[in-house]
A and B are shown apart, each in its own frame.
Chain A
Amino acid sequence: MNTTCMCLLTKTAAHFREGPGLETEELSYSNFERLVNRRQRAKISTATRIAAAMFKHFRINNRLEKLGCDPSNTPVLICNRYANWDYVADSMYEDVALTLDHVNNYVATAWFPATIQGYLTIENGNTGEAITLATTDTEIIVAALQSLFARDMANTPTGAVIFGTFECLPGQIGTRRIINIRPGAFGAISLILANDSEESIRAAVCKHQELYNDIIC
C-alpha cells in the first residue's frame, strides 16, 4: 500500500509531512536548502529544489531498496502544470533587450516542466522511463502510472513507480501579476507499487491533485 509524502514551502520554512494524522516536521529554509546538491541550487527552480529535498528528507532511494526495487532503474511520473516560472520571474522586464541581458545559462533547462524528472533521474542515477504530465484528468494519470511498471516474464507488473507532483507559482512575472491564483510552492511523492489496487493508486493521485486547491482561486 502506497503512502504519500508532502512538502509545503513557505518564505521561511519547509513543512514536511507523511501520511494522514502525522505531525508536520518543520525545517528552516536554510536547512531545506542543505538538502539540495549545492552545485545545482542556482541552476534549478524552486519546484525542482522541493523534489530534490523531498528525495533526501524522505530517503526515497532507501525506501525503494527496502521494497526490493532498484533506484537506478525505477520509472518516474511527474505532474507539473505550471512550468517553472519562478526561475525567470525576477529577470523578466517589459523591455525585451533588458530581459535578454538577464537570461542565464540555465534558463533553457530550468524553466520547462521536464526539468524536474531530469534532475531526479540524473541526481539519482535512475535510467528508468520518466514522463511529465500536465492534466487535471485523474484517470489518465492512474492509467499512465499503471502502464509504467516493469513486467516480468509472465507480463505481470513488478516493482514501483515514483510518482511526484511539484509546483511553484510566483505571484508575479517581472512587474506583472499572475491573477486568479494564490502564490505557493508544494510537492508530493508517492511510491506506487505494482501490487497496489487501482483504488489505492487513484487515492494517491487524488491526494496529489488536492494540493492544487490551495493555489487556485
Chain B
Amino acid sequence: MIPLFIQKAAACSPLGANLDEIWSRILSGETSWGTTRLSGNRNYFTAETIADSTSDIRTYATLFYDAIRNLVTDLDISEPVDAIYFGTAVGNLAYLENKIYSGSNVKAEEVDFSHLREIFEQTMAFGPDTRFVCVPTGCCAGLQAIGLAKSTMRKLGLRTAIIMSLDFGLTPLALEAFNKINATSMYDPATNGSPSRPFCKGRKGFLFADGGGAILVSAEEPSGSTVQVSGYGCVSSAFHMTDIKTDGHSIRQSIECALAEAQIDGSMIDHINLHASGTEQNDAAEYNALIDIIGHDLPVITAFKGNHGHALGGANLIEVALVWKIMMERRIPPTPHHLPVDAFKEVHPRSEITDFTGRRVLKTASGFSGIHASVIMEQCG
C-alpha cells in the first residue's frame, strides 16, 4: 500500500467557515451549539455551520452544494486533480427534502449519489479526465474514502486527488430519525453548557452538527516537511446496526490493521484523535480498544466533537484536517472549556495548548452498520 501525502487541507464547521478559523477557536477551547426549531414544537440541540440556517429547510437546502464548492476553493488548487473521493452519510438530503416539502417533483439524477460529481464539475478541481467516486457509508465515510484512495490511486495511475467528506444533514427527517433512536437530544433549556460531552461522565448522546473537510493528496512524496497517511484499517463489527460492543474488540481490530499497514506498533503512537461521538457505548469501546493496544499510559488524546458536535461523515475530514494542523504547527489544542473529561482516569482534561513533539497520530472513526475505521498519519520530510 502506498502512502498518501497531504499537501493541503480545508474544513468548515460550526466553529468557522474555514480551517484557520476553526483551528484558532479550537486552540482557544471554544465550543459551538444551538437549537433547530421545527414544526410541531420539535426543538433539537444542533450545531450549525451557517447560523440560524436549519430551522427553515428552504434556507438550508443548498448549503451542502455551496460547501463543496467552498472547500475546493479553500484548497487553492491550480489544476484539475486526477480523482475525487467523496465521503458522505446523507449527501444532498436537505435539497431533496426541500423539494418534497415544497411540492416539486424530484429528478432521478438528484437522488443518485454518483451524480454529486456534477457539483465538482463546476469547480477548478474537475478536468476531462478526473475520476469521481462517492463513498456513502455514514460516519466512517471520510476515513473509508481515504482508505479507498490509498489502495486504488497507484493501480489507476493517479497522482493527485481530493478526498472530501461533507454532510449538511440537519434536516427534519434526519433530526427526527436520530432522535427516535435516542442518539441525539431534544433541546432542554436546563442543560448547562454544550450538550456534546465526549469522555465526560455527564454525556447523553451526540450533538448533531454539519460541516466537512477536504485534503489534497499526492501519491508522490513532495519536497519539504509534510504529513503522510501511512496506515489504514477497516473492519465490520457484525454486531448491530447502531450499537457498539463496549469491549472495543472491533475498534481494536481496525487499529491493528492500520498499525500493521504502517508497519508500526501501538507504543509508537504519539497522539490519538478519537471518533468520540459522546455516546457512552462509543467512549467505552474506544477507551477499551486503546487500553488493549497501548496500555494505561496513553498519549495525549484529542476529540473535536466536544468543540463542534458530530457532522456525521463530514466529521472525519474535519478531524483529519485538524490533525494535519496539529502535526504541521506542532501544537495540541486544550480540551474544550467547561468539559470535565472525567469518564476515565487515563484520559485527562487539558486547559493549555501543549507542544506536539512526536511523529505519529492515530485517528479513529465508527459508524452505523458496524463500520470501524482507523488511519495512521505520520510526519515525513
Contact = CB atoms under 8 A, between A and B. Distances in A.
A174 B105 CA distance: 10
A178 interface: yes
A153 to B, nearest CB: 13
B44 to A, nearest CB: 11
A85 interface: yes
A181 interface: yes
A115 B100 contact: no
Contact of A80 (B57, B136, B176): B136
Nearest to B137: A114
Given A127-B238, A169-B108, A132 B136 contact: yes
Contacts of B115: 81
A12 interface: no
B296 interface: no
B138 A114 contact: yes
Given A81-B112, A113-B113, A176-B103, A126 B238 contact: yes
Contact of A121 (B102, B105, B183, B238): B238
Contact of B104 (A119, A121, A132, A176): A176
Contact of B133 (A80, A100, A119, A134): A134
At the interface, is chain A mostly helix, strand, loop or mixed? mixed
A178 B183 contact: no
A24 interface: no
A137 interface: yes
B152 A140 contact: yes
Nearest to B110: A178
A108 B181 contact: yes
A134 B114 contact: yes
Given A109-B369, A121-B369, A96 B180 contact: no
Residue among B40, B99, B241 with the most chain A CB within 10 A?
B241
Interface string A138-176: 011001101110000000000000000000010001111
A197 interface: no
A111 B104 contact: no
A42 interface: no
Nearest to A107: B177
Contacts, number: 213
A115 B109 CA distance: 21
A166 B90 CA distance: 18
Nearest to B368: A109
Nearest to A146: B155
A83 interface: yes
B89 interface: yes
Contacts of A13: none
Interface string A106-137: 01110111110111011011111111111111
A114 B136 contact: yes
B364 to A, nearest CB: 15
B151 interface: yes
B344 interface: no
A135 B136 contact: no
A22 interface: no
Contact of A81 (B113, B183, B241): B113
Contact of B234 (A100, A109, A115, A131): A131
Contact of B39 (A96, A147, A179): A96
A103 B173 contact: yes
Contact of A94 (B101, B177, B236): B101
A79 B302 CA distance: 34
A72 B39 CA distance: 45
Given A117-B137, A174-B100, A108 B180 contact: yes
A102 B379 CA distance: 50
A137 B64 CA distance: 23
Contact of A108 (B106, B137, B183): B183
Interface string B125-157: 000000111111110000010011001100110
A101 to B, nearest CB: 7
Contacts of B38: 96-97, 100
A103 B144 contact: no
A108 B368 contact: yes
Residue among A112, A132, A139, A146 with the most chain B CB within 10 A?
A112
* 3 shortest interchain CB distances as A-B pairs: A118-B369, A134-B113, A147-B151
10 contacts: A92-B173, A100-B172, A108-B242, A109-B369, A127-B235, A131-B135, A134-B136, A140-B131, A143-B155, A179-B105
Interface of B: 38-40, 42, 57, 83, 89-91, 96, 99-109, 111-115, 131-138, 144, 147-148, 151-152, 155-156, 172-174, 176-178, 180-181, 183, 234-242, 250, 253, 367-371
Given A76-B236, A81-B112, 9 more contacts: A82-B113, A94-B101, A127-B235, A127-B250, A139-B156, A140-B131, A143-B155, A146-B155, A177-B106
Interface of A: 72, 76, 80-83, 85, 88, 92, 94-97, 99-101, 103-105, 107-109, 111-115, 117-119, 121-122, 124-137, 139-140, 143-144, 146-148, 169, 173-181, 216-217
